[in-house]
């Protein structure tokens, strides 16, 4: 159609990675001590976002996950009895790190696509922290590559369900809020 696309590279200077740090991007709409919901909050991506917000902004966080952690009073014993690379150990240590840096964490066992469970989790966070200031939708099923390489439509649906179903539930629950 009379056009040619050419690949080129441009140098890009990224802002500081820690919100609130000197040189951090002031245009990010994040609040110090703000309250943020992170779906998939105990997964790798969710915990990375939680640490970033907790350390940089002393954020108050609602972390939702399909899997629940043991009761907090048993964390020391759990950590002592499991390998350091255990997912639950890593989540417990991350939460302690966030809280020792001034952040607060509310945990809720809720599938992102389960509107009733997410509604209960959001209500509990509001009771503890007040209004939500933002949502990070990190829920998902860890995969081993592109969805295009999935063996079946059922596998693809399993990957997309937390993303799409979770987004739909979040829109119904929070769609009219700033």
In the predicted model, is pLDDT for residue 169 greater than 70?
A: yes
Query: What digits encode the pLDDT tens for the residues 62-83?
Result: 999 999 999 999 999 999 999 9
SS3 track for 132-151? CCEEEECCCCCCCCCHHHCC
Q: In what order do the strands lie in the sheet with 104-109?
A: 104-109, 60-65, 35-39, 134-137
68 contacts 54 by C-beta, under 8 angstroms: no
Q: What's the rounded Cα separation, in Å, for the pair 110 and 153? A: 25
Q: What is the CA radius of gyration of the chain?
A: 19
Stated pTM of the model: 0.83
Query: What digits encode the pLDDT tens for the residues 155-168?
Result: 777 777 788 999 99
Sign of the alpha-carbon dihedral angle for 64, 66, 72, 76 = negative
């Amino acid at each position: 159609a009379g056009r040619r696309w050419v690949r080129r590279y441009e140098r890009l200077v990224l802002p500081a990675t820690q919100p609130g740090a000197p040189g951090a991007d002031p245009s990010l709409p994040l609040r110090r001590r703000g309250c943020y919901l992170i779906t998939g909050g105990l997964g790798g991506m969710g915990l990375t976002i939680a640490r970033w917000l907790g350390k940089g902004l002393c954020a108050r966080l609602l972390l939702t996950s399909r899997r629940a952690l043991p009761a907090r009073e048993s964390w020391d014993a759990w950590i002592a009895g499991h390998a350091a690379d255990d997912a639950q150990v890593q989540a417990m240590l991350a939460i302690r790190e966030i809280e020792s840096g001034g952040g607060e964490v509310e945990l809720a066992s809720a599938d992102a696509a389960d509107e009733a469970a997410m509604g209960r989790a959001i209500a509990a966070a509001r009771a503890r922290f007040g209004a939500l200031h933002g949502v990070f939708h990190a829920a998902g099923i860890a995969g081993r590559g592109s969805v295009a390489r999935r063996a079946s439509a059922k596998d693809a649906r399993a990957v997309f369900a937390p993303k799409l179903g979770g987004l739909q539930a979040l829109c119904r629950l929070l769609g009219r809020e700033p």
